[in-house]
Amino acid sequence: MIFRLLVPLILAFSFILYLGYLNPSQVTFIYAPGRSMEMPYVVLLLLSAFAGVFCLGLFLTVSTLGEFLRDIGRRLNRRKQEKVEKLLFDTRMKVESGEMEKALKIVEKVFSKDSKNLEALLLKGKILRDIGKTKEAVAVHSLALALYPTETDLILQLKEDYISVGHLDAAYKMLEMARGRKPDDAGIIIQMREIAEKKSDLKHAVVLQREALKRLKGTERIGDEKRKLAELYCVHARFLLGKGDVKGSKAELHLAMKSSHGFIPASVMLARLAVEESKIKDAEKVLKKEFKQSYSIALLRILEAIYRSNGQEEKIEDLYDWGRSVMANSPDAKYLLLFIAMAQIEKRDFTQANGTLSRAGRFFSETVLFHLALGVVEAGMSENGSQAPEQFVKALEIEWERFLEFRCDNCGYESADYFIVCDSCGKWSSGVAKFR
């Protein structure tokens, strides 16, 4: 830096000497009336050069001093920021460990160093909300939003504050504001749908869910959100059914089946409505169509119960044939083996039942039902009788009724019958087949 400055100065100084050599005359200065001073031309040039050097040096000195002061300021700010970051880190750690009061005290220290720190404002508001001081949380987040009006995260935090105090309309307005800034954000639209659902505004919830699906097209979440749309249709169908609108309820259930293939509750609800109207063929048609898509054993058990309750036991054999035909595709394939074996025992086809049970053995060898079924088959195949003892068969039928249960994959609730909505946690389509 200094070398680059000295080189042009030396060249300029040499040029001035050269001019003085070529121009040895003098210059007369009149600095007052009647007073003057003569000065050689070369001296005047040298004085001008020295004046320029002095100004340049003064400029460099001031610049260096300014840079030095700025560097000190940056270091102080960096040190201050490091302290703020450490305080924020400590706050987050206290929040994770559940020490909310201590976290609140630490985050207050941040404001003594940076009164407008966005992360600190967000943390303080969240802590206040978590400890039940929702009004204070709203005040903090509102202040933060006034300071940072373009921050969508603040709007979403305010939404959470309003939800925690039950102000769903205010929370919805916050989401509308957020959506205005991010119109293509499916997550915001889904949150709007959740609030509409909480307000029991099911029609509007369906509209919002459809909009979210348009924006999620081609993403991994599309399947789950389609099932959610089907669930909304089913919820609305139950609501209409409660009001006696059976036709409207059926229309909603058909929409649910179209929106998400394999959403079993819609088919089951529609089939039950058909049974109530004594339209067994319609119920059969709906459940069979759904079975071709989901291969769920729950549908076979429901149809089995429908046939038995309506004196159509002869049709049960068809169900076992279905089970056999979809073994490779069904998620409940191992249960279908027992389903088929039970049909064969019921028809007293013990040879076929023995073969089916041998395949099922690796899944159910430790269950009471398996050994009971094996005992019935061995008795039926014995030399002394072509028919198993009836008390064994009845015991087997009783065990079969209680063998298969459905367990909620969300909360673990168990039921012997398939449930479309978990009685414990309220989740739809969460019943998964399990064996006792």
Q: Quick one: what percent of the chain has pLDDT higher than 70? A: 82
Please report which confidence band the pLDDT of residue 42 belongs to, taking 50, 70 and 90 as the band edges: low
Q: Which of 7-11, 141-145, 379-383 has the highest mean pLDDT?
A: 141-145
* pLDDT value at residue 340: 77
Provide the pLDDT confidence category of residue 252 given band limits of 50, 70 and 90: very high
Residue 9: what pLDDT?
Answer: 62
- Reported pTM: 0.66
Place of tokens 């191992």: 334
Q: What is the pLDDT of residue 200?
A: 87
Angle made by CA atoms 377, 379, 380, in degrees to the nearest 5? 65
pLDDT confidence band for 14 (50 / 70 / 90): low
pLDDT > 90? residue 12? no
Q: Above 80 in pLDDT, residue 389? A: no
Q: Is the pLDDT of residue 366 over 70?
A: yes
β-pair type (431-435, 404-408):
antiparallel
Gap between the Cα atoms of 338 and 361, Å rounded: 10
Q: Which residue has the higher pLDDT, 79 or 3?
A: 79
The pLDDT tens digits of the residues spanning 306-353 come to: 887 888 877 776 776 666 666 666 666 677 777 778 777 777 777 888
What's the per-residue H, E or C state across the chain? CHHHHHHHHHHHHHHHHHHHHHCCCEEEEEEECCEEEEEEHHHHHHHHHHHHHHHHHHHHHHHHHHHHHHHHHHHHHHHHHHHHHHHHHHHHHHHHCCCHHHHHHHHHHHHHHCCCCHHHHHHHHHHHHHCCCHHHHHHHHHHHHHHCCCCHHHHHHHHHHHHHCCCHHHHHHHHHHHHHHCCCCHHHHHHHHHHHHHCCCHHHHHHHHHHHHHHHCCCCCHHHHHHHHHHHHHHHHHHHHHCCCHHHHHHHHHHHHHHCCCCHHHHHHHHHHHHHCCCHHHHHHHHHHHHHHHCCHHHHHHHHHHHHHCCCHHHHHHHHHHHHHCCCCCCCHHHHHHHHHHHHHHCCCHHHHHHHHHHHHHHHCCCHHHHHHHHHHHHHHCCCCCCCCHHHHHHHHHHHHHHEEEEECCCCCEECCCCCECCCCCCECCEEEEEC
- Asked whether residue 368 carries a pLDDT value surpassing 80, the answer given is no
**Which range is least confidently modeled, 18-27, 120-129, 237-246, 347-356?**
18-27
Tens digits of per-residue pLDDT, 191-236? 999 999 888 898 899 999 999 999 888 888 888 899 899 989 998 9
The answer to whether the Cα torsion of 389, 391, 395, 401 is positive or negative is positive
Phi/psi at 239 (5° precision): -65, -45
Report whether pLDDT(190) > 70: yes
Residue pair 406/427 in contact (Cβ under 8 Å)? The answer is no
pLDDT at 76 over 80: yes
Question: Lowest-confidence range among 76-85, 90-99, 286-295, 418-427?
Answer: 286-295
Neighbours of 296 (CB within 10 A): 24
Q: What's the average model confidence in pLDDT over 261-284?
A: 88
What type of residue is 379? A
